[in-house]
Amino acid sequence: MLTIAQITDLHITTDRDPENRHRNATRLESVLKAIHGLHPRPAAIVASGDLTDVGAPEEYVALAEILARSEIPLHLTVGNHDRRQAFLDTFAGAHALPDPNGFVQYAVDVGNLRLVVCDSLDENGDEGAFCEARAAWLAETLDAAPDRPTVVVIHHPPIPSGIQWMDPDPAADWILRLEAVLAHREQVCAVICGHVHRAFQGMFAGKVVSVSAATSLQLTLNLTPVDRRVADGRQILIGEPPGFALLTWTGGALITHHCVAGDFPDPITYDKPFDAT
Ligand SMILES: [Fe+2]
Ligand SMILES: [Fe+2]
């Protein structure tokens, strides 16, 4: 069985923010330890953006130091907290590639699965973006391998979570553009995302959208209306355990497990056969 781990929203930073630096690095290390302990060991790790907190070059250096300890190949992309040039300066090559227009978009085969990694970053805002140039690249890239089972990786989910202060307008241009590319391209078996710092799933363009929990803090699950112009004191983030997702490909179906990392009590071992003879 082929498995691929997804991590997201690492928000690695430096001593410019000591509390976040320590907490987010520790939580990422906990997730990497959990992934390396899985049976079987995943064939790859894909990181779906918000790798750093503000996209500063020194944050990517700090991240690279942590990721260098991974024994599993890593494929990375950017989120709204990243900055392309600083990211590419550190990671272009084995971990990521720019497309001909300079966006962080590339395809990579992992066993029999193809990952097509997309760039939804707008460097002037936090909302998702997917311009005509990026959409054309995605269409062309998908059409180059129409028979290979494919997972599309993109930081911003194109569907609302119900956590309203984070949600996109479902009629936003970038979402309609992405939908037009994905619809009827049957080889796409899932779209995996981050950004919301909480695991949820839904459907988009006939595809399963699977969003992983963050390695850093999780968003509080509050589905009541919110006024983005009036702070009402609600809790917005909480230290639930660091999470990740595990994509499993059986050859005919893609299954996603949502996992938490940490040291947990009361393990029970398989000491007697499940089936008596
Ligand atoms: Fe994030
Ligand atoms: Fe984000």
Determine the distance separating the centroid of ligand 1 and the alpha carbon of 59, expressed in angstroms: 15
- What would the mean pLDDT of 2-12 be, rounded to a whole number? 98
pLDDT of residue 119: 98
Quote the pLDDT of residue 276. 84
Give distance in angstroms: CA of 213 to centre of ligand 1.
10
134 Cα to the center of ligand 1, angstroms: 21
pLDDT tens, residue by residue, 81-136: 999 999 999 999 999 999 999 999 999 999 999 999 999 999 999 999 999 999 99
pTM of the entire structure? Answer: 0.97
**pLDDT band (50, 70, 90) for residue 75:** very high
At 277 the pLDDT is 73
Token pair for 32 = 């990497």
pLDDT digits (tens, 9 = 90+) for 13-35: 999 999 999 999 999 999 999 99
Q: Which domains does the chain have, with CATH numbers?
A: 2-260 (3.60.21.10)
**Of the candidates 30, 31, 72, 78, the residue with the CA atom closest to the CA atom of residue 52:** 78
Please tell me the distance from the alpha carbon of residue 64 to that of residue 221, in angstroms, as a whole number: 31
Q: Which ligand is nearest to the CA of 79?
A: 2
Longest dimension (CA), the chain: 67
Residue 275 Cα to ligand 1 middle (Å) = 46
**Mean pLDDT (the chain, rounded):** 97
Structure tokens at 58: 């020194």
Task: Yes or no: say if 154 and 118 are a contact pair by the CB < 8 Å rule.
Answer: yes
211-266 pLDDT, tens per residue? Answer: 999 999 999 999 999 999 999 999 999 999 999 999 999 988 999 999 999 999 99
